Structure 1
């Protein structure tokens, strides 16, 4: 998917395959148009000057543990003991002693 050429029908088919989606012949061009529109919007955003905008990687720094207008706060990140693995595995319907066993739900 090169930036200049945009998304091709082949790209749409590959992404659909990877996402395990079955697109009809009518849906493929619509998906191509939508994906190219999204990439166009992203290109517009990339043109914005953000050099004076501070990064907001950690919302917790903004909240800082104080109460806000809706009453939300962030809890302190404290290490606490976890559940006992043997007790959890003993209560599981099926396990190998280390992991839960679950039925396969996705088939290709």
Structure 2
């Protein structure tokens, strides 16, 4: 069974400043015990020959090749802007004087 006790759960809840009732401590103890059991099961099959993975499926790069394409003209880009100075967009300031 699990090494996690109700006292452990209550202690961790106290450290995390979480108020748990006795019923919640009992439920959490059972749930954490189940999680610990599952981790132990995975540890049984994890071997040095099997590299750690974040995903069960083999992933590959699915992006297209990065090739230069047609570039939009500056005047065309600024044409739809609500405020600009012929060279760049104008936007409201979001930083104070300190920056």
| TM-score (ref. length: structure 1) | 0.48
Q: Which runs of 5+ in 2 are unaligned?
A: 65-94
| Equivalent-residue separation in structure 2 for 1:50 and 1:89 (angstroms) | 56
Report what 1:25 is aligned to: 22
2:34 is the alignment partner of 1:37: yes
Q: Which one of 35, 46, 50 corresponds to residue 47 of structure 2?
A: 50
Larger relative CO (CA 8 A, sep 6+): 1 or 2? 2
Deviations 1:81-103 (A, max 9, x none): xxxxxx87815xxxxxxxxxxxx
Equivalent residues of 2:2, 2:33 under 8 A apart? no
| Equivalent-residue separation in structure 1 for 2:29 and 2:43 (angstroms) | 21
| Equivalent-residue separation in structure 1 for 2:96 and 2:53 (angstroms) | 38
The structure with the larger Rg is 2
Deviations 1:30-70 (A, max 9, x none): 0000010000000000100433223459xxxx76xxx51xx
Report the CA distance shift for 1:9/1:17 in structure 2 as closer, same or farther (over 3 A).
Answer: same
Q: Which runs of 5+ in 1 are unaligned?
A: 73-86, 92-108
Deviations 1:1-39 (A, max 9, x none): xxx761111100111011111101111110000010000
| TM-score (ref. length: structure 2) | 0.51
- Over the aligned positions, Cα root-mean-square deviation in angstroms equals 3.0
2:12 is the alignment partner of 1:15: yes
